[in-house]
């Protein structure tokens, strides 16, 4: 899409975000385009799983309006917090925030940065799955950071990030959020958020982390119908009136703290809080490995992040695998 079309789409979305009806004529005038061009732009954003009403004689409306992510506000707040994540780009639509960040990193290596998007056309989940990313319904962001740690020291990193996310979100959601090893966030055993950490570098000294986070906020049933597992939204758990902007800011500030803690002490500082946060602690689970599966009771994590299962052959530790709950 050309920069001009992108700007027009941004303008159009900002206008419709108020939840009011806007006539095709008034939009065309403001964007300085024809009414046919307005219709085409509306078609385009409707493809992003954004519901737009068209009523003859009244115009276009986004029912209930939208609370959009605010790049300037986020930048200001991060500057006030002396955060190193002040290079933050808030995009309307992108293939994947992870891919955008990787491309930015090639151009400007070494600078910590964040990319947030209202919509992803090719959001990526773990194990090659797609991450469904309807417009402005959820949070999708990636953080790029360089650490003076080799790849071999990153074993517990994605757990540490997951714990930081869960602890931060629990401040808004009354401690209802738990973790499934290694780093899925769950509410009542339904998936609330996922993390995809991609690391590159050398084994001993240095690494670049691309930390991708997707959090369901207020996704409608129709928007999430292609998701192949039970899922939950964050908004309905929040007691206070809190916005996606507030939540994103709190998450970025706390992830930065978690990265600093990990850099100093590795995962060992996090390990003590795992049992309390784990959705599967002392529950019967199966761990699915490439060529086999093992049953056991989850009994915590090692100080390097490995999962501990009590099995018929004693306690065994696992560094990778997919965990599922066993119904008794």
Q: Which of 126, 129, 176, 235 is catalytic?
A: 126
Q: Output the smallest distance, CB 125 to ligand BTN, in A.
A: 3
Contacts 24+ apart (CB under 8 A), 179-182: 179/274, 179/277, 179/278, 179/279, 180/278, 180/279, 180/280, 180/323, 181/278, 181/280, 181/298, 181/301, 181/307, 181/323, 182/158, 182/305, 182/307
266 near ligand BTN (CB under 6 A): no
Interface characters, 109-148, with ligand BTN (x: CB under 6 A): -----------x--xxxx--x-x--------xxx------
Q: Name the closest residue to ligand BTN (Cβ).
A: 194
Question: How many Å apart are CA 139 and CA 134, to the nearest integer?
Answer: 10
Report the relative pairing of strands 207-215 and 284-288 from DSSP bridges. Answer: unpaired
Q: Output the smallest distance, CB 130 to ligand BTN, in A.
A: 9
Q: Which of 35, 54, 272, 326 is catalytic?
A: 326
Q: Output the smallest distance, CB 11 to ligand BTN, in A.
A: 25
**Cβ contacts of residue 193 below 8 Å, gap of 6+?**
165, 169, 184, 185, 213, 214, 215, 216, 234
Which stretch in 26-34, 49-57, 92-100, 222-230 sits in contact with ligand BTN by CB under 6 A?
Answer: 92-100
Interface characters, 185-224, with ligand BTN (x: CB under 6 A): ---------xxx---------------xxx----------
Alpha-carbon distances of 86 from 74, 89, 256, 273, 308, rounded to whole Å:
8, 9, 12, 29, 38
Q: Output the smallest distance, CB 50 to ligand BTN, in A.
A: 17
Which stretch in 17-25, 50-58, 94-102, 304-312 sits in contact with ligand BTN by CB under 6 A?
Answer: 94-102
Q: Which of 44, 129, 176, 191 is catalytic?
A: 191
Q: Output the smallest distance, CB 121 to ligand BTN, in A.
A: 10
Catalytic residue check, 75: no
Alpha-carbon distances of 193 from 60, 73, 93, 150, 313, rounded to whole Å:
32, 24, 20, 27, 33
Alpha-carbon distances of 34 from 17, 104, 128, 256, rounded to whole Å:
21, 35, 41, 46
Catalytic residue check, 326: yes
Binding site for ligand BTN (CB under 6 A): 96-98, 120, 123-126, 129, 131, 140-142, 184, 194-196, 212-214
**Which residues does the annotation mark as catalytic?**
126, 191, 326
């Amino acid at each position: 899409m050309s920069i001009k079309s992108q700007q027009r789409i941004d303008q159009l979305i900002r206008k419709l975000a108020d939840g009011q009806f806007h006539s095709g004529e008034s939009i065309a005038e403001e964007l300085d385009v024809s009414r046919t061009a307005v219709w085409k732009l509306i078609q385009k954003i409707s493809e992003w799983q954004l519901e737009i009403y068209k009523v003859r004689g009244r115009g276009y409306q986004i029912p209930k309006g939208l609370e959009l992510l605010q790049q300037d506000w986020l930048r200001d707040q991060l500057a006030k917090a002396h955060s190193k994540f002040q290079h933050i780009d808030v995009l309307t639509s992108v293939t994947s925030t992870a891919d955008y960040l990787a491309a930015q990193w090639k151009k400007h290596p070494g600078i910590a940065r964040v990319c947030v998007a209202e919509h992803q056309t090719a959001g990526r989940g773990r194990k090659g799955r797609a991450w469904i990313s309807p417009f402005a319904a959820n949070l999708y962001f990636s953080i790029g950071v360089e650490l003076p740690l080799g790849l071999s020291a990153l074993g517990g990193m994605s757990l540490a990030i997951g714990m930081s996310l869960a602890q931060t979100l629990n401040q808004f959601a009354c401690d209802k959020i738990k973790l499934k090893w290694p780093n899925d966030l769950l509410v009542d055993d339904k998936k609330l958020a996922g993390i995809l950490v991609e690391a590159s570098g050398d084994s001993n000294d240095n690494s670049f982390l691309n930390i991708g986070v997707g959090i369901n906020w207020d996704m409608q049933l129709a928007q999430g119908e292609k998701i192949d597992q039970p899922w939950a939204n964050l908004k309905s758990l929040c007691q206070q009136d809190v916005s996606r902007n507030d939540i994103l800011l709190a998450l970025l500030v706390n992830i930065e703290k978690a990265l600093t803690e990990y850099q100093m002490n590795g995962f060992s500082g996090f390990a003590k809080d795992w049992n309390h946060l784990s959705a599967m602690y002392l529950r019967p689970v199966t761990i699915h490995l490439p060529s086999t599966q093992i049953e056991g009771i989850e009994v915590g994590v090692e100080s390097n992040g490995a999962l501990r299962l009590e099995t018929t052959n004693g306690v065994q530790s696992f560094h990778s695998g997919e965990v599922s709950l066993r119904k008794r």
